A and B are shown apart, each in its own frame.
Chain A
């Protein structure tokens, strides 16, 4: 017996979707932002203190995180399938890329299509049993996946491929065609190109028929089914696409950090993606970028924050990013259930009224 009455389940959506529609952002602004991002490294000679290689590297990791969050958003935000284990697909992407580079010596730029296909297949296959699960149950299955991933990566039979606990050390990609760019600068451009392409693809997907079908399934699965939408196909394919996006992010991160090891793909990673999703904005493309930026910021400023708490406030505690995440997750659900993107849109609408 469920406690929810039929009326309850019908009126409560699965996710607090952001009011910003998939294609909500103004196109002109998008071009301005992309152009500004592309011009950024060129300013390095002008203001070398502000645009350092390290900062560019950080921004690359933000873009990578944004792609990963977008992957989760496609599944959870736009299709209503809740995943607490997207770190698993990130890991598959990272390891696929690392193994191909390490064992087959494939150049890094050939990897992304292969990774996308591999992760799509893995996601699609996981999506099949997930078809029978909804809401809390799917969350439970993916939660279990998130916890088990590091252990699976250490499996003895895979050790030759994965390097076991040690992981795999890689080389950082170098700029092609003799372009006068440092590794970090080239990484930045590489990530920027991939990010723009992937967001453009997602935007196209979402504003079309398939996007509407995905969202219809999220809002009322059974009604979508009676309208002739093949919910099973859409859900599994969405799972595959979502995994492919997150996997590509994983592959990029393997290149960026030039290292993969099992314990960096634990539960914490999945939580980071989740927080990127809810902080940025559920079912929002710009929200995915905000979410990506945010998770990197938290992880990088945690040390500073911890020092601040210790030295300036005088509390004898280490503040981990985990605690920041925890508090934020709780507070956000009360204050801004649609994330920053959703909150901004709502505030803007209220101001204009």
Chain B
């Protein structure tokens, strides 16, 4: 079976500084994979490199098709939805507009309406705020909005960059519960970057560990979770 996303020899650069060194991993169709690592290990950069948002070398294939060097928006249109660090809210637009952007190539058809209903079914709170300016939403609501915007793209793969960042634990639990539902019901594969390793390992079925721009460990979540080094460094017990 061909992997949904295959990354080989991925290098990324910020100006002269190299941030990734030959990162390689693969994602299975339908699964949730997490990238773990300390600050500056290259987790966010890996997500950005997949979408060609930094200067990148190496090979990235989505569904068997090479996507390296393609424009970010083309990669997105292939079905790779990136939920960025900091949520990327269009603060001056309304919640509805924030969602409709992701479907703008599809016009205002009934199909878009159905997708909107689907999204509101996952996040009923957003329906209540539909005409509100997105900049006035709380952090948790903006994170929900970011996930919803990604869903509106009808993605096959979702890249999630620290969805728990800066949110209260209860909200985080709610969002992660919904992420699992989205994975199961909408058949969206996920690549999750998280500081909160315990949370990520609970949700994911596979894990890769990054250190200073290199993959140092990989395996099923259950195995990684029980690795002594990982426990000490990332789980804190």
Residues from chain B with Cβ under 8 Å of A11 in the complex: 15
Tell yes or no: B91 within 8 A of A by CB.
yes
In this complex, how many residues of chain A approach chain B with their Cβ under 8 Å: the count is 2
For the complex of A and B, 3 pairs with smallest distance between CB atoms: A1-B92, A1-B91, A11-B15
Residues from chain A with Cβ under 8 Å of B92 in the complex: 1
The smallest beta-carbon distance between B200 and chain A, in angstroms, is 27
Within the assembled complex, what's the spacing in Å between the Cα atoms of A11 and B91?
26
A-B contact count (CB 8 A): 3
3 contacts between A and B (CB under 8 A): A1-B91, A1-B92, A11-B15
Scoring A residues 8 to 34 as 1 if CB is less than 8 Å from chain B, else 0, what string do you get?
A: 000100000000000000000000000
Within the assembled complex, what's the spacing in Å between the Cα atoms of A1 and B91?
9
Within the assembled complex, what's the spacing in Å between the Cα atoms of A34 and B78?
67
Chain B's closest residue to A7 (CB) is B14
Residues from chain B with Cβ under 8 Å of A1 in the complex: 91-92
Within the assembled complex, what's the spacing in Å between the Cα atoms of A311 and B92?
59
Scoring B residues 185 to 227 as 1 if CB is less than 8 Å from chain A, else 0, what string do you get?
A: 0000000000000000000000000000000000000000000
Interface residues of B in 12-61 (CB under 8 A from A): 15
The smallest beta-carbon distance between A283 and chain B, in angstroms, is 23
Residues from chain A with Cβ under 8 Å of B91 in the complex: 1
Within the assembled complex, what's the spacing in Å between the Cα atoms of A1 and B88?
13
The smallest beta-carbon distance between B135 and chain A, in angstroms, is 10
Residues from chain A with Cβ under 8 Å of B15 in the complex: 11
Within the assembled complex, what's the spacing in Å between the Cα atoms of A11 and B14?
12
Chain B's closest residue to A11 (CB) is B15
The smallest beta-carbon distance between A64 and chain B, in angstroms, is 43
Within the assembled complex, what's the spacing in Å between the Cα atoms of A11 and B15?
10
Within the assembled complex, what's the spacing in Å between the Cα atoms of A168 and B92?
56
The smallest beta-carbon distance between A7 and chain B, in angstroms, is 9
Chain A's closest residue to B92 (CB) is A1
Chain A's closest residue to B91 (CB) is A1
Chain A's closest residue to B135 (CB) is A1
Interface residues of B in 87-109 (CB under 8 A from A): 91-92
Within the assembled complex, what's the spacing in Å between the Cα atoms of A11 and B92?
27
Within the assembled complex, what's the spacing in Å between the Cα atoms of A1 and B90?
10
The smallest beta-carbon distance between B171 and chain A, in angstroms, is 26
